[in-house]
Structure 1
Amino acid sequence: MKAVLVVDMLKDFVEEGAPLEVERAREFVGDINCLLDEARSQGNLVVFVCDRHREDDPEFDVFPEHCVESTEGAEVLDGLDKREEDIVIPKRRFSAFFGTDLDLTLREHGVDELVVVGILTNICVLYTVADAVQRGYEVTVCSDLVTSPDQEAHEFALEQMADVLGADVTKC
C-alpha cells in the first residue's frame, strides 16, 4: 500500500509574510490536491506531517520562531485538501520519523511505499526520506512538488535522495 506524505505545508512556511516563507510552495498547492485526490481514489493513505514546536524550542536558535503548537502558523495551509480521515503527524525535528509514531502508523496500515511532497527539500524532506529509506520503505519524491528557498540546496538534496538514498526522484 502507498501513502502520500505532505511535509510541512503549513502557514508559517507558505503564507505571504510567514517567518520561513517559501513563496514557490504556493504555486503547487493545486497539484498536491490532485495527487491527494488520486491517492484517495486508489485507497491510499494521506498523511500530513506537521512541524510543531514548543515555545522554547532550541531550533529557534538557528531558525526564526515558527510553527509553535496551538498557533495559527502551525496549521495546514488553507487551500490544501486536508480531510478528517487523513492522518496528522506532529513533529519537533527535521525528520518525520524522529520521535513520532509515523513508522508505527504506516506499518499498521500496511504501507510500504511513500510518495513525498512539500517543503523544505534540503531539510525536512531530505531527512524524512533518509529515515524512510533506512526503514525499508520504497520512496518516490515528487521533484515538482517539493521546494526550498535556496535553489542550489534544493538541487543538491534531490541529487542526494536519488544518488545516495536510492529514492525515485521524479515529476509527479
Structure 2
Amino acid sequence: MNDLSDDYAGAGFGRPLEWGTAPAVLVIDMVRAYFEPDAELYMGNRDCLDSAVRVVDAARARGVPVIYTRVEYGPGGIDGGLFFKKVGALKHFVRGSGSTLGEIMPEIAPRDDELVIVKQYASAFFGTSLSATLASGRIDTLVLCGVSTSGCVRATAVDAISYGYLPVVVREAVGDRDPRPHEANLFDIAAKYGEVWSEESVLQRLAS
C-alpha cells in the first residue's frame, strides 16, 4: 500500500482540501435492509451504524444540520430504471410491498425537524433536491456517513465535489459487505474526490 500511495502522490493525487465554515452531516441509507441479519442486503456488521450515531449526536450538539436519505420506488420499481433491474434486492424498497427494510434504523432515526430525502439511485444528489437544499443553507462541507462505501457513499462523494461541496467521509461511519471494496473505495475517494477522516478527527472538528 505504501508503494501505491507514493505512486498516487507522485502523480498529484490526494492533495488535502480544507474543511469549510458551514458543514452538514449526511446519513446515507442507514436502513434495516443492511443491518437485519435475515435481510438480503445484510452487511454482516453494525460498527458503522454505531459510529454514525456518535457523529450525528455531535452534530446536533453543535447545531450542525443533519440530513438523511432512504430509497423508495413506485409500483414495480417503475422509477428505478436499469438500476432497479440490475440490483434485484432493490425490490424490498418498493412502496406498498409490505417490507419494513427501507425504514431508517431506530438508533439513528431523524428528528421531526431533520430532512429525509427519498432517492431512487445511488447518489444522494441524482434526481433529488439535495444540492438546492445545501445551496440555500450556504453549506460548503458535507460529512458523509452510511452505506455502502462502494455504492451510495462513493456516488454521493463524487457528485458532491462535482457540485462544489467538500465531501468528508467518516472512515468508521461507512460500511460495505466486504472489506475489499470498502478499503479500495476509501482509498480512491481520498485520492480523487474528497477527504477521508477518522471518526475521532470529525468529532473534534464538530466540537470546535
TM-score between the two structures when normalised by the length of structure 1: 0.92
The amino acid of 2:124's aligned partner reads A
Q: Is the 8 A contact 1:53 1:66 kept in 2?
A: no
- Counting only pairs closer than 5 Å after superposition, residues 4-43 of structure 1 correspond to structure 2 as 4-24=25-45, 26-43=46-63
Regions of 4+ moved over 6 Å: none
Gaps of 5+ in 1: none
Q: CA deviation at 1:19?
A: 2.1
* Partner SS for 2:68: strand
Please give the alpha-carbon distance, in whole angstroms, between the structure 2 residues aligned to 1:59 and 1:168: 27
Higher strand residue share: 1
Aligned to 2:172: 144
Greater fraction helix: 2
* Other-structure match for 1:94: 122
> Could you say which residue in structure 1 is the equivalent of 2:94?
68
The whole-number CA distance in structure 2 between the counterparts of 1:136 and 1:122 is: 21
8 A contact 1:33–1:81 mirrored in 2: no
Instruction: Give TM-score scaled by structure 2 length.
Output: 0.77
Percent sequence identity over matched residues?
31
- 1:3 to 2:24 alignment: yes
Q: Aligned match of 1:130 in 132, 135, 158?
A: 158
Unaligned 5+ runs, structure 2: 1-21, 200-208
Q: How large is the Cα RMSD of the aligned pairs? A: 1.5
Q: Considering only CA atoms, is the larger Rg found in Structure 1 or Structure 2?
A: 2
Deviation at 1:106, TM superposition (A): 1.2
Report the Cα distance in structure 1 between the residues aligned to 2:175 and 2:50, rounded to whole angstroms. Answer: 15
Q: Residues 50 and 173 of structure 2 are in contact (CA less than 8 Å); yes or no, is this contact kept in structure 1?
A: no
1:117 match: secondary structure = strand
